[in-house]
Amino acid sequence: MDFRLAIADRILENIPEAALPAAEIANMLEIPPDAKLGDYAFPCFKLSKALRKSPVAIADRLAAGVSAPFLARVESVKGYLNFFVDRATYAREVLSRALSEGDRYGSDGSGQGRCAVIDYSSINIAKRFHIGHLSTTMIGNSLYRLYKFFGWRAVGVNHLGDWGTQFGKMIAAYRRWGDRETVERGGVDEMVKLYVRFHREAEKDPALEDEGRAWFKRIEDGDPEALSIFNWFKDVTLKDAEKTYELLGVSFDSYAGESFYNDKMAPVVEELREKGLLKEDQGAKIVDLEPYGMPPALILRSDGATLYLTRDLAAAKYRRDTYDFDRSLYVVAYQQDLHFKQLFKVLELMGYEWAKACEHVSFGMVSFEGQTLSTREGRVVYLDELLRTAVEKARGIIEEKSPGLEDKGEIARQIGVGAVVFFALYNNRIKDIDFWWDRALNFDGETGPYVMYTHARACSVLRKAEDAQAEPDYGALSDPEAQEVVRLIEQFPQVLKSALDRSEPSMVTRFSADLAQAFNKFYYERRILDDDPGARAARLLLTRASRDVIKQALWLIGLSAPERM
């Protein structure tokens, strides 16, 4: 039973003059902040104008007329109609649905036949993967999983930062002081050393700057030697990054970065010119956005060089032409708000209706123990080092508390990585993250390891239970602790839908913590393996549903769910 729709039907039976679809009434229903106020509440204020009656009068009329076998009682309170569902019926219906739908519970399949392109992570070539990339990587990964879960065709794009004069400087440095074997062995760290040396030597010999620019010009012109070294640098970087992505459980469908669009920008510039959007301003080519409250969008510098915006216009068109997307998301920090407003407005001015399908999924910045990150000043935390430290800490705790646990290495990896990812995705994405080792790697409270442990606890209870079960007595789930778990399980589909619509994975993260806390309270207050066969059967069903929903929630934010800890 869909309780929202069932209640909506009863409301409409009593006020047919509202002339609204049941689904619209169902969407108006709210979950009271306190269970004592009911399981659902209908704010009658929303019908007051249409019915020309006070909210209190509407609520009183409905309270007198609405009834159903699944409703224990209905109350009118200050313009709200509060519904109290029969506890046993509520538990039976929610658990039956959750368990029968299995790993599809929470998905309505609404994305079938639709495509979402998600641009996330977007690491820089020849630079190490640091925690500044953690948010974009894990928010994007979670959205990718959510879209696929709802039936969308999701396309994950790692828009590599692989363009600019710095790559010419890298080649110049490599040809002067590097060798292939050393770079292959040292990876990105060795490339960074070469880049640092280039700048140090260029201070003494400014002619090196010209040499760097010349090599980048050769990349732009498609010179075989320059391209060979350039592409090798990318391969080495991605080989390094892949180790971190593998640890995080993150993958992509495309690595088309900035350089991929080098030959696709000229047609976009020409189109802007043909549509009368391109204007000259002190030698540069711009699109005037002043009428829309924005500074001009710079398309070409006075020397003819392209910019990020030029490449992003080409990328947006390519993605639309290639994937025919229904949504196109850019998971990029909020400092780029203006850039994406300009990008979407220029696409709109070019006459592309699909510009409305583009969304900037912004997020806050990461600082480290109260200080902003700065590579130059040595305030940087490399992601692979952070993850290794977290895994080592998890391994130490396992050795101390569960020395006989099988597959300790893999479970330590799941717990350690999970602690970091959960920390990154717990708060609303727009909030800045102040990264502290002791908080991120804390294994108590509202953390990834706590939720994982709850899943393992539920698995343990189910292993201890006998296979043969009696007919469940759902009346045994009428207590407040069990009902809170049932209520959260019932809300899971709505939480996921909201997380998808708002591009907000933190909603799933916080839900998993809430469900874990509610289940643990139930676990401590109620004897699951009760002597009474009916009560035992019902509580085991609640345990199984809790386990399954926690596992699904964790997977959707990129975490594993160990069965033993």
| 382-386, 459-463, 558-562: the lowest-pLDDT one | 382-386
> Which pLDDT tens digit goes with each residue over 399-417?
998 899 999 999 999 999 9
CATH number at residue 72: 3.30.1360.70
> Judging by DSSP bridges, how do beta strands 80-85 and 153-157 pair with one another?
unpaired
Q: Evaluate if residue 376 carries a pLDDT over 60.
A: no
- CA gap 328, 345 in Å, rounded: 15
47, part of any domain: yes
What residues are paired with 281 via a beta bridge?
A: 284
Q: Evaluate if residue 487 carries a pLDDT over 60.
A: yes
DSSP codes joined into one string, 426-455 = SS-TTS-EEE-HHHHT--SSSSHHHHHHHH
Q: Evaluate if residue 435 carries a pLDDT over 80.
A: no
How many structural domains are present in the chain?
1
53, part of any domain: yes
State the Cα angle at 222 between 219 and 228, rounded to 5°: 70
Please answer whether residues 443 and 449 qualify as being in contact, where contact means their C-beta atoms are separated by less than 8 angstroms.
yes
Residues labelled catalytic: 127, 130, 133
Phi, psi dihedral angles at 40 (to 5 degrees): -140, 155
The predicted model gives 498-512 an average pLDDT of 98
130, part of any domain: no
256, part of any domain: no
Query: Is residue 473 helix, strand or coil?
Result: coil
Q: Evaluate if residue 266 carries a pLDDT over 60.
A: yes
Say if residue 305 is exposed, middle or buried (CB neighbours under 10 Å; 0-12, 13-18, 19+). Answer: exposed
Please answer whether residues 302 and 284 qualify as being in contact, where contact means their C-beta atoms are separated by less than 8 angstroms.
yes
55, part of any domain: yes
The model's confidence at residue 439, banded by pLDDT at 50, 70 and 90, is: confident
Domain boundaries, position 50 = 3-85
> Which pLDDT tens digit goes with each residue over 293-302?
999 999 998 8
Residues 6+ apart with CB under 8 A from 69: 86, 89
464, part of any domain: no
Please answer whether residues 506 and 513 qualify as being in contact, where contact means their C-beta atoms are separated by less than 8 angstroms.
no
For the chain, what is the mean pLDDT? 93
The model's confidence at residue 92, banded by pLDDT at 50, 70 and 90, is: very high
33, part of any domain: yes
Q: Which two tokens stand for residue 494?
A: 């709505």
What residues are paired with 77 via a beta bridge?
A: 80
- Name which of 518, 536, 517 is nearest 528 in CA terms: 536
Task: Name the residue with higher pLDDT: 142 or 262.
Answer: 142
Q: Quick one: pLDDT at residue 451?
A: 96
62, part of any domain: yes
Task: Name the residue with higher pLDDT: 407 or 368.
Answer: 407
Q: Evaluate if residue 223 carries a pLDDT over 60.
A: yes
Q: Evaluate if residue 467 carries a pLDDT over 80.
A: no
pTM value surpassing 0.85: yes
- Name which of 233, 213, 220 is nearest 166 in CA terms: 213
Q: Quick one: pLDDT at residue 18?
A: 85
Q: Quick one: pLDDT at residue 378?
A: 56
Query: Is residue 392 helix, strand or coil?
Result: helix
